Every structure is written in C-alpha cells, then in structure tokens.
C-alpha cells in the first residue's frame, strides 16, 4: 500500500450560518464537511491553511492546506 495523503479545501461560508463548507481529500476520496467560522479563523492563525482566504481560485476554493503525506512507520 502506498503512502496515504490528506488535504482540506475551504469552499466558503454557508449563507445564513456561521459555518464554512470544506472538502477533505483523503487518498483521492472527497468528503464534504462543515467547520465553524471561529474554528476556521483559529486554524488560519495557526497557519494550517496556506492562503489569505480572500481570493477564490479557479477551482472555486478560498483556502487550502498543504497535502500531508503519511510517513513510513517502522514496527517495533
């Protein structure tokens, strides 16, 4: 089995709520989830997301994380 990957894209605010629509990419599988705006802002302050969150890109994404790749784990 190859190394697993994970990334989160922020699509934008959900109108009429205090939630942000997000997409979690895990090994190519896409799962939609919602995050509170306060948690999103906190993660931006922690530099989990790599953009400023003010501009929508060509994929209609306002923010994203780096793609994280699982490290090899050596059994004990």
Query: DSSP string spanning the chain?
Result: ----EEEEEEEEEPTTSSEEEEEEEETTEEEEEEEEHHHHHHHHHTT-S-S-S----TTS-SEEPPPEEPPP----
The answer to whether residue 55 scores a pLDDT higher than 80 is yes
Q: Looking at residues 57-67, what average pLDDT do you find?
A: 96
| pTM, two decimal places | 0.87
Strand partners, 31: 24
The answer to whether residue 74 scores a pLDDT higher than 80 is no
Tens digit of each residue's pLDDT (9 = 90 or more) over 1-50 = 678 999 999 999 999 999 999 999 999 899 999 999 999 999 999 999 99
């Amino acid at each position: 089995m190859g190394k697993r990957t994970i990334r989160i894209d922020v699509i934008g605010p959900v109108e009429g709520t205090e939630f942000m629509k997000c997409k979690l990419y895990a090994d190519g599988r896409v799962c939609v989830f919602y995050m509170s705006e306060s948690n999103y802002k906190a993660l931006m302050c922690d530099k989990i997301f790599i953009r400023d969150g003010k501009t929508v890109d060509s994929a209609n994404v306002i923010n994203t994380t780096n793609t994280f790749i699982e490290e090899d784990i050596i059994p004990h």
